């Protein structure tokens, strides 16, 4: 096999053979195919696409590049959730303990944030003592004892994707549906859960800006999961405005605790329950209402056990930023738009996110929203509260928010869950 032949096939709109795909993924993982060759191939895939059969084989080859977690020792059914990423998306935090409290084990390998979307591990790391790294043996033991683990993926899982994703990030080839779908699904299938619920975000704060694109990504991922024996369902959900009232690491943990205590913002509760119901139904646990486990404290008990099992202190004070700056409503009326991307970029610039993988994040930084679209506002009232350790960060965050909200008369309510694909 020759990398140049594989690149030429895709460049000239051809279909890659199974043998070409198996070889190129394996050779790239071993360093035999060079980064510049793989980036040319990734660009050819972005421009010319892949057939469903090519995507399936590409995904299988990425799974085969590493280990598959063996969850056969788990006594309960297993279900996992993946979100394609959004602003204020803290759903994993209440969802994992909630589903575990309803009798389904949740093995959840999560990531760190890059750019304007936050990462679940960054959020949890704002809890004093909490560790993201868990060995495979402890992972299985915690799933059996507590019922939920949220942790970093080990290096052994889909190493081809680890290398390829880093390359795509710097070569303008992230936004290819075959590459996004195979990247996400290779990791999720290797993780070994029996059920997978995908939260595919649509809107300004998401990867996929249109419902059509999001539907194509969701359909591709659902068929990959199903072909590998994972019961897979996708919800398309709105990401034109942030989820909940906070964007930022410790701020989002606080909001998640409100949900686990039976309160919290209505949209966060709605999406947490919608995803929980899908996970429970996929695992055969019908007839259980997850709302009960939020009301009666069972989900909070699992949260506390999950945090303690990974070295965290659930009773410890969460960090707060040193400085705050309030953005006031410039007029009275109804908040008709609050743009997810604007808030996400502002939170990122305040220190909640990172520009490069190695950058540290500020646990306390972020944005608190004092109003959401549809809420009445009075001129001069606080609209947004910016939190940062360094006041020099406020200027650039305020620039990100310029044009990011409208106050008017009529607000058109939108559905949070736009569609369901199975």
Query: Which residues of the shown chain bind ligand URA in the complex (CB under 6 A)?
Result: 165, 174, 179-180, 183-184
Q: Min. distance of Cβ 365 from ligand URA in angstroms?
A: 23
Q: How far apart are CA 224 and CA 184, in angstroms?
A: 10
What gap in Å lies between CA 396 and CA 349, rounded to an integer?
7
Catalytic member of 90, 168, 215, 231: 168
Q: Which is nearer to ligand URA, 48 or 320 (CB)?
A: 48
Least Å from the CB of residue 145 to ligand URA: 28
Q: Indicate the residue among 107 and 364 with the shorter CB distance to ligand URA.
A: 107
161 carries an active-site annotation: yes
In this complex, which beta carbon is closest to ligand URA, that of residue 42 or of residue 146? 42
> Least distance from C-beta 175 to ligand URA, angstroms?
9
Active site residue 155: no
Which one from 39, 83, 183, 256 is the annotated catalytic residue?
Answer: 183
Question: Which single residue brings its beta carbon nearest to ligand URA?
Answer: 183
For ligand URA, the closer of residues 217 and 243 by Cβ is 217
173 versus 362: smaller Cβ distance to ligand URA: 173
Which residue is catalytic, options 187, 188, 231, 354?
Answer: 187
Catalytic-residue membership of 13: no
Q: Let me know if 240 is a catalytic residue.
A: no
**What does the alpha-carbon distance between residue 248 and residue 348 come to, in Å, rounded to a whole number?**
8
Closest contact distance (angstroms) between CB of 263 and ligand URA is 31
Q: How far is the CB of 248 from ligand URA (least distance, A)?
A: 21
Nearer to ligand URA, 147 or 178 (CB): 178
CB of 13 to ligand URA, least distance (A): 23
Please pick, among 161, 199, 238, 267, the residue that the annotation labels catalytic.
161
CB of 217 to ligand URA, least distance (A): 10
Q: Confirm whether 254 is a catalytic residue.
A: no
- Indicate the residue among 179 and 247 with the shorter CB distance to ligand URA: 179
From the list 82, 201, 285, 349, the catalytic residue is 82
In three-state form (DSSP H/G/I as H, E/B as E, the rest C), the secondary structure along the chain is: CCHHHHHHHHHCCCCCCHHHHHHHHHHHHCCCCCHHHHHHHHHHHHHHCCCHHHHHHHHHHHHHCCCCCCCCCCCCCEEEEEECCCCCCCCHHHHHHHHHHCCCEEEEEECCCECCECCHHHHHCCCCCCCCCCCHHHHHHHHHHCCEEEEECCCCCCHHHHHHHHHHHCCCCCCCHHHHHHHHHHHHHHHCCCEEEEEEEECCCCCECCHHHHHHHHHHHHHHHHHCCCEEEEEEEECCCCCCCEECHHHHHHHHHHHHCCCCCHHHHHHHHHHHHHHHHHCCCCCCCHHHHHHCCHHHHHHHHHHHHCCCCCCCCCCCCCEEEEEECCCCEEEEEECHHHHHHHHHHHHHCCCCCCCCCCCCCEEEECCCCCCEECCCCEEEEEEECCHHHHHHHHHHHCCCEEEECCCCCCCCEEEEEC
Residues that are catalytic:
82, 161, 168, 183, 187
């Amino acid at each position: 096999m020759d990398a140049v032949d594989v690149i030429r096939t895709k460049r000239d709109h051809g279909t890659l053979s199974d043998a070409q795909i198996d070889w190129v993924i394996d050779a790239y993982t071993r360093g035999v195919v060079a980064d510049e060759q793989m980036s040319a191939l990734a660009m050819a895939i972005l421009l010319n696409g892949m057939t469903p059969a090519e995507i399936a084989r590409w995904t299988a080859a990425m799974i085969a590049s590493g280990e598959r977690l063996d969850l056969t020792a788990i006594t309960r059914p297993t279900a996992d959730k993946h979100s394609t990423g959004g602003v204020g998306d803290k759903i994993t935090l209440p969802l994992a303990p909630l589903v575990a409290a309803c009798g389904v084990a949740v093995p959840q390998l999560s990531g760190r944030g890059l750019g304007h979307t936050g990462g679940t591990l960054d959020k949890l790391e704002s809890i004093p003592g909490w560790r993201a790294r868990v060995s495979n043996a402890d992972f299985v033991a915690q799933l059996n004892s507590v019922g939920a683990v949220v942790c970093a993926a080990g290096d052994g899982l889909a190493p081809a994707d680890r290398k390829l994703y880093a390359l795509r990030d710097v070569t303008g080839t992230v936004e290819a549906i075959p590459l996004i779908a195979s990247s996400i699904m290779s990791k999720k299938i290797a993780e070994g859960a029996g059920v997978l619920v995908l939260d595919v975000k649509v809107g300004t704060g998401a990867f996929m800006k249109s419902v059509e694109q999001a539907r194509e990504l969701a359909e591709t991922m659902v068929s990959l999961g199903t072909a590998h024996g994972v019961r897979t369902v996708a919800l398309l959900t709105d990401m034109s405005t942030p989820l909940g009232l906070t964007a930022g690491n410790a701020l989002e943990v606080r909001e998640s605790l409100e949900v686990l205590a039976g309160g919290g913002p209505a949209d966060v509760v709605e999406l947490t329950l919608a995803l929980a119901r899908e996970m429970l139904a996929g695992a055969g646990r019908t007839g259980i209402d997850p709302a009960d486990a939020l009301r009666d404290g069972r989900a909070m008990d699992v949260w506390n056990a999950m945090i303690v099992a990974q070295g965290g202190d659930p009773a410890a004070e969460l960090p707060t930023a040193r400085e705050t700056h309030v953005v006031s409503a410039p007029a009275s009326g109804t908040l008709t738009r609050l743009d997810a991307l604007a808030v996400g970029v502002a939170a990122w610039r305040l220190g909640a996110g990172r520009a490069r993988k190695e950058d540290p994040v500020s646990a306390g930084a972020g944005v608190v929203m004092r109003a959401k679209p549809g809420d009445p506002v009075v001129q001069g009232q606080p609209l947004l509260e910016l939190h940062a350790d360094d006041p020099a960060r406020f200027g650039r965050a305020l620039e990100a928010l310029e044009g990011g909200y409208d106050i008017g008369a009529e607000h058109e309510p939108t559905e949070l869950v736009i569609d369901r694909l199975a």
